[in-house]
Chain A
Amino acid sequence: MGKGVAITGMGIISAIGNNVAENFTSLTSNKIGISKISQIDTIHKDDIMVGEIGETNTQLEQRLDIAENQWSRTVLIGTVAAQEALAEAGISDINEVRTGFISGTTVGGMDKSEQYFYDYPENPSVRQHITGLHAGDSTNKIAKHLGLKESFVTTISTACSSSANTIMLGARMIQSGQLDRVIVGGTDSLSKFTINGFKTLMILSDTYNTPFDNDRKGLNLGEAAAYLVLESDAMVEKNKKNVLGYVKGYGNANDAFHQTASSENGDGAVLAMEKALQVAGMKPEDIDYINAHGTATPNNDLSEGRALIRVFDKKVPHFSSTKAFTGHTLAAAGAVEAVYSVLALQNDTIFPNLNFKTPMQEFGICPVTELKKKKLGTVLSNSFGFGGNCSTLIFSKEA
């Protein structure tokens, strides 16, 4: 049984708050972040709801002291979250030891690429966004702003499991002794690209998303950035670090069923959960709470629900999806929900799966719909993405 990797800092910005404390307040007071879209001018604005971060680009630029229109919104929110994570971990000299940065994103700088797509030839003043189309460019910019030098920096893009996979890679790099500490997580801003893409797939809800409800109509897209600092035991010991929780298990598998849809019985999800349990050296009954992927699409919730029943047999632990609060934040979702999983552990609290009314006709399991106090030692978090990508993380209070 492997020992967990310590989490020493977290940072987040989402539709329900600009930092960890605000997100926790929203999660425990049923304050949802879903609204009509205000910052992107799309013809779909009257028929979709989104989880939008309140601050405008200008406000974010001022907060970070960045010149106007140099960065994508993905980079702006990513920097805010990464800085909070580093501050909480008490890291002032980022280059002091072997520090890595692994970020997940799907859209990268797409918000600017789509805005200036035809303008580049005529307008030299927007050409700084040309290289922003590289997903890795957002990661590079954040790393540079954090002052990270001569270090391991990379980007993972596996659609909606991207940042869950950064946590997995980060934990493995700490465990294999390649890094002393690593900042992991992800960032994705809203864009016309993703709004229209999901629209063509006909999985966007025109109202508040309702995970695991029989009458669910689809997902609300969201935007967010979240990062966690993982550190080796030696670093924790040397600096007497306060440990927030541990990455105890992880697993990635492929559904190998369809490019965008999950298999009916959730084969990939089952494999990912089983691998994570194996890495953690745990049995299904050791899991106290599941933060489900629960996007509220007909396909995901059925597939994930069936996978939960297969893995946990008839004793599916308390579970909920927090996407009714935040919307589906794509590449950031895994890290957002990692932060929520750690908050759940720290506060012995299960966050409610809002907007749930009617149990699904296919099975009898129902999510936790009200804030619930419960002694939590372990939380399992799922993230699934296009390309059949299925990831599971297990967080624990004790190493």
Chain B
Amino acid sequence: MKKSVYINSVGSVSAQKTFDDGFLENIEQRSDTVLAVVAPNYKDYIPPAAARRMAKGIKMSTVSAKNAMQGAGVDENEIDAIIVGTGLGCIGDSEKFVSDIIDNNEQFLTPTRFIQSSHNTVAGQIALGIGCKGYNFTYVHSAVSFESAVLDAKMQLEQNEARTILVGGVDELVDHHVSTHRLIGHIKEEPVDTMSVLKSGTSGAVFSEGAHFFVLSNQKRTSCYAELMALKTFNTLSPGQLGDNVGNFLKEQGLTEKAIDLIVLGYNGDVEFDGYYDILAKGPFSETPQAYFKHLSGEFDTASGFGFWVANKILKHQRIPDPVKLNDLHRVTFETVLIYNQYRGENHSLMLLKKC
């Protein structure tokens, strides 16, 4: 008998002020092509001496993970496993180590940057910080890094291999990565206003960063945000196959498109690839309340962690904040939420959440 999986808490550090208890009451409106996170006061979470040596990704994750654990009211020793998704890990340190190798002709190097370059640094550091000797995995698969982590956690909780798992997604915004991705047109050439991202009419995305952590458990706590019903990822999907695959995904849960109370879509304002979202928004879900989020979070490999955060918050608070509304349709109660994301036509994901 499979156990149910609950999202008992959320934690976020993003380009919006999401590290406190609010829910997008005051939006950071910017006009740019890249967005850094609204940084919490790291000193409130990390001793300053330790923070100085830490990569930004570790710092953001520490805050986000601590907030999630606190939100669920779980003690550190209750965490059975830590599973993290990250497209690039602590890429700032990787890039610095590479440039140091080249600039200094492979001499005078120190190990810290190399050590922090390991993709599993965040998961390892959290384990070290809370003394968690349990299962510790890191997924690094572009836009489905976070989803892979959630899927792994879901499998373990369903089989009762673990009872409480800390799951997260994190990525950093750093200079070389930005400058090279500008060269290949993955970042927008012209700045775009936060609330006008979908009207940009241009290719590329607004790049950003963030850390999103969640406590998942097969026991529902009073803090519960949502129940995780299903999750599926696809390495490729042609536009013609998207609708059928979404239909089949819902059918496996005994649902139809009509049963979805809200669809959360990963629109990032890239005219070349937003068509995927249009297929659902203007097709089978045209009569469904719709939300989007990357105009607020920016685009990064684990941006779907922000989408997951938004969906969880909506289910808990039973309201859709105005800045994420894509249409004016409403439901009296929000029972089921579907999240669909893809990046540049690859690595598609579907996540289905239910009110708990």
CB–CB B97/A197 < 8 A = yes
**What is the CB-to-nearest-CB distance from A206 to chain B, in angstroms, rounded to a whole number?**
16
CB–CB A130/B180 < 8 A = yes
A135-B119, A173-B155 known; A43-B235 Cβ under 8 A: no
Chain B contacts for A173, CB-based, 8 A? 155
Taken together as a complex, chains A and B put the C-alpha atoms of A222 and B82 apart, in Å, by 29
B133 within 8 A of A: yes
CB–CB B183/A114 < 8 A = no
Taken together as a complex, chains A and B put the C-alpha atoms of A159 and B236 apart, in Å, by 27
**What is the CB-to-nearest-CB distance from A179 to chain B, in angstroms, rounded to a whole number?**
11
**What is the CB-to-nearest-CB distance from B240 to chain A, in angstroms, rounded to a whole number?**
11
CB–CB A197/B114 < 8 A = yes
CB–CB B136/A131 < 8 A = no
The interface size bin for chain A is 35 or more
**What is the CB-to-nearest-CB distance from B241 to chain A, in angstroms, rounded to a whole number?**
7
| Cβ-closest chain B residue relative to A257 | B128
CB–CB B235/A256 < 8 A = no
CB–CB B118/A159 < 8 A = yes
A199 within 8 A of B: yes
Taken together as a complex, chains A and B put the C-alpha atoms of A124 and B183 apart, in Å, by 9
B5 within 8 A of A: no
Taken together as a complex, chains A and B put the C-alpha atoms of A236 and B148 apart, in Å, by 27
**What is the CB-to-nearest-CB distance from B122 to chain A, in angstroms, rounded to a whole number?**
9
| Cβ-closest chain A residue relative to B128 | A256
CB–CB A385/B120 < 8 A = yes
CB–CB A256/B132 < 8 A = yes
Interface string of A240-257 (1 = CB under 8 A from B): 000000000000111111
A130-B184, A137-B142, A387-B118 known; A43-B132 Cβ under 8 A: no
Among B134, B158, B234, B241, which residue has its beta carbon within 8 angstroms of that of A254? B134
Chain B contacts for A385, CB-based, 8 A? 118, 120
B259 within 8 A of A: no
CB–CB A43/B346 < 8 A = no
Chain A contacts for B234, CB-based, 8 A? 150-152
CB–CB B115/A260 < 8 A = yes
Interface residue ranges of A269-313 to B (CB < 8 Å):
271
| Cβ-closest chain A residue relative to B242 | A150
CB–CB B124/A259 < 8 A = yes
Chain A contacts for B91, CB-based, 8 A? 133
Chain B contacts for A42, CB-based, 8 A? 106
B320 within 8 A of A: no
Interface string of A131-174 (1 = CB under 8 A from B): 10111110110011000111111111111000001000100110
| Cβ-closest chain B residue relative to A386 | B118
Chain B contacts for A159, CB-based, 8 A? 118-120
CB–CB B152/A121 < 8 A = no
CB–CB A252/B136 < 8 A = yes
20 pairs, A vs B, C-beta closer than 8 Å: A43-B105, A105-B140, A136-B142, A150-B235, A158-B137, A158-B138, A192-B101, A193-B98, A193-B117, A196-B97, A196-B101, A201-B115, A252-B135, A252-B136, A254-B132, A256-B128, A256-B133, A260-B111, A386-B115, A388-B127
Closest 9 CB pairs of A and B: A387-B124, A197-B114, A157-B119, A153-B235, A136-B141, A200-B111, A254-B136, A135-B140, A136-B142
Q: A201-B111, A258-B128 are in contact. List 6 more A-B contacts (CB 8 A).
A: A101-B235, A136-B140, A152-B233, A157-B140, A158-B123, A255-B133
Chain B: residues with CB nearer than 8 A to chain A?
82, 87-89, 91, 94, 97-99, 101-102, 105-107, 109-111, 114-115, 117-121, 123-125, 127-128, 131-142, 144-145, 148, 152, 155, 158-159, 176-177, 179-181, 183-184, 232-237, 241, 245, 301, 346-347
Chain A: residues with CB nearer than 8 A to chain B?
42-44, 101, 105-106, 110, 113-114, 117-118, 120-121, 124, 127, 130-131, 133-137, 139-140, 143-144, 148-159, 165, 169, 172-173, 176, 178, 192-193, 196-197, 199-201, 252-260, 267-268, 271, 385-389
